[in-house]
Every structure is written in structure tokens, then in C-alpha cells.
């Protein structure tokens, strides 16, 4: 189980990083969303994995760690706000300049970076 979660975090991080390094806004936003998932799961996993023991007080003996859950809950909602703002900025830039590159046009002497 632990292996599944750890590898899932790794796969999402790698995918997110790769997409964040793309040149157009949309894949970058996708990559940031993936990274958000990865980070949220990572934070959540810092409470260690517990099956069948939700932090709802009953007569049960053990509960999972509630603190990371509370942190991640707000993180999920905030990440929506962040995604919305970034999408809006990307959209504004595209509509305004008809260009959805994330990089500034590269100066002439450094043509390899922006135009690649």
C-alpha cells in the first residue's frame, strides 16, 4: 500500500514537472494541477496511511491523524482559487496578445531558449 502511494506521488510529480516545463500556458496549468495533487497527497501521507479509521470520534480504538487532513482540505480549496487565477491570467494574455507562450520572446542573441 505504501509503495502504491509513494509511487503515485512520484509519477504525479514527474508528470507535473514535465508539463510545467512546457512552452504553452495550457500544459503548464495542467502540470500545476498535477503537482497540486502530488503535493496534497504528499502532505496527506505525512499523517501515515490508516485504513478504516476516519477521524470521526466514535467508540473506536484508533483514529487516523486528523491534522494533515485539515491542512490538505484547505489546500484543495485554495488550489482551486489559484488555478482559477492562473487560468484567468493565461486567458487574458492569450486574448490580449494572441499568443499562449509562457516565455517572453527571447532576445535575438539568446534565440535557443524561447524559440525552441
Partner 1 sequence: MSLFLIVALPFLGALLPGIMNSAGRSACAGVTFTVTLAALVGLLTNLPAVLAGDVVTAGVDWLPMLGMNFNLMLDGLGFFFAALILGIGLLIITYGRFYLSRDDNMGEFFTYLLLFQGAMVGIVMSDNILLLLVFWELTSLSSFLLIGYWKHLPEGREGARMALTVTGMGGLAMIGGMLILGQIVGSYDLSVILQNREIIQDSPLYLPALILILLGCFTKSAQFPFHFWLPHAMAAPTPVSAYLHSATMVKAGIFLMARMWPVLSGTPEWFVIVTTAGLITMVLGAVIALFKHDLKALLAFSTVSHLGLITMLLGTGTAFGAMAAVFHILNHATFKAALFMSAGIIDHETHTRDIRKLGGLRHLMPITFVMATLAALSMAGIPYLNGFLSKEMMLEEASHTVLFNTGWLVPALAVIGSLFSAAYCFRLISHTFLGAKRDDYPAHPHDPPFGMWAPPALLVVLVVVIGVAPFLVQDFVFLVARAVIGGVAPLDVHYIKIWHGLTPALYMSIAAVGGGLLVLASFRPLLRVWDAAPRPEAKVIFEAVIAGAVALARWVIHGLHNGAFTRYAAIMAVTVLALGYHGWRTGTVGPATRSMQTAGAIEIAGWAMLVAATLGLVFLHRNRLLSLILIAIVGLMVSVGFVVFSAPDLAMTQLTVEVVTIILLLLALNFLPNRTPIESTVLRRMRDVAVALGGGITAALMSWHFLLRDTVAPSISEFHLANSYKGGGGTNVVNVILVDFRGFDTFGEIIVLGIAALLIYALTETLLDGPVRARLLNRKPDQPRAGDMHPMMMVVLTRVIMPVVLMVGFYIFLRGHNEPGGGFIAGLVVSIAVVMQYMASGFSWTAARQRYPYHGIIGAGVLVAGLTGIGSWFVGKPFLTSDYTYVRIPPFHEFELATAALFDLGVFLAVVGAVMLSLESFSRLARRAHVPDTEHAMDIDPSRDPADPANPKLEGGL
Please list every residue from 27 through 66 that binds partner 1, using CB under 8 A. 27-30, 33-34, 37-38, 40-42, 44-58, 63-66
d(CA 105, CA 99): 10
- The minimum distance between CB 59 and partner 1, in angstroms, equals 11
Considering the rule CB under 8 A, would residue 108 count as an interface residue with partner 1?
no
Those residues whose C-beta lies under 8 Å from the C-beta of residue 101, and which sit 6 or more positions away, are 23, 24, 25, 114
Residue 107's CB is within 10 A of a number of other CB atoms, namely 9
Considering the rule CB under 8 A, would residue 81 count as an interface residue with partner 1?
yes
- The minimum distance between CB 43 and partner 1, in angstroms, equals 10
Work out which of 3, 59, 61, 108 binds partner 1, going by CB under 8 A: 3
d(CA 6, CA 47): 13
Amino acid at each position: 500500500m505504501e509503495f502504491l502511494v509513494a509511487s503515485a506521488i512520484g509519477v504525479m510529480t514527474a508528470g507535473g514537472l514535465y508539463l510545467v516545463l512546457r512552452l504553452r500556458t495550457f500544459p503548464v496549468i495542467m502540470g500545476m494541477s498535477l503537482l497540486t495533487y502530488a503535493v496534497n497527497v504528499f502532505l496527506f501521507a505525512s499523517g501515515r496511511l490508516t485504513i478504516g479509521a476516519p477521524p470521526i470520534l466514535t467508540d473506536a480504538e484508533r483514529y487516523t491523524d486528523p491534522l494533515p487532513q485539515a491542512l490538505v482540505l484547505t489546500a484543495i480549496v485554495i488550489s482551486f482559487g489559484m488555478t482559477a487565477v492562473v487560468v484567468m491570467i493565461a486567458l487574458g494574455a492569450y486574448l490580449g496578445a494572441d499568443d499562449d507562450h509562457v516565455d517572453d520572446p527571447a532576445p535575438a542573441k539568446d534565440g535557443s531558449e524561447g524559440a525552441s
